[in-house]
Structure 1
Amino acid sequence: MAENTKMIHIRMPVSLVKELDDLIKKSSRPGSRSRFIVEAVASRLKKEHYLKAVKGLAGMLTEEEVPHWKDDEAINKWLADNRKVDRKALEDKWQM
């Protein structure tokens, strides 16, 4: 079932409209301006919701809980140690 739609009017710079039209004409996925704009807005809204959620997590963990994230050196050591464990598990599994 198609979602209800609502007509809106927006103003865009002429150069942007021309670039959009040129892109749509050359696209392997031809469509319309409306379709392109709807997909672009949906994509941006998804990104904004994600960023809002991530920012909401900021400060959730304390330095005491994740000391291996305190600075670049600690992060690099933590990553290297985890990769060694992963490599070892892979070698053991496949008897490499």
Structure 2
Amino acid sequence: MNHKRQFTPEFKKEAVALVTEQGYTIARAAASLGISNKTLHTWVSLAREQSNGVLSEDERAELKRLQKENKELRTEKEILKKASAFFAKHMW
């Protein structure tokens, strides 16, 4: 009888996170979880392929917010530069 173990998506995600986010080696993470190196290597490879260049909805929203904030800060910086130059010119 060859029973193939089934793993939940949550388990796989957490196992992959040990390697990709917490810096575990595949061998160490696999050993601590009681799974084979090959299994974990496959999950990590698939996760990297799926996330390669793809942002989640939250990440896209955060990127958009940060880009807007960056634009506003650059504009404020230019205004302050001009004001500083104006006052420096007229103070003497």
Flag whether TM exceeds 0.5 (same fold): no
Q: Which has the higher contact order (CA 8 A, sep 6+)?
A: 2
Of Structure 1 and Structure 2, which has the larger fraction of its residues in helix?
2
TM-score, length basis structure 2: 0.32
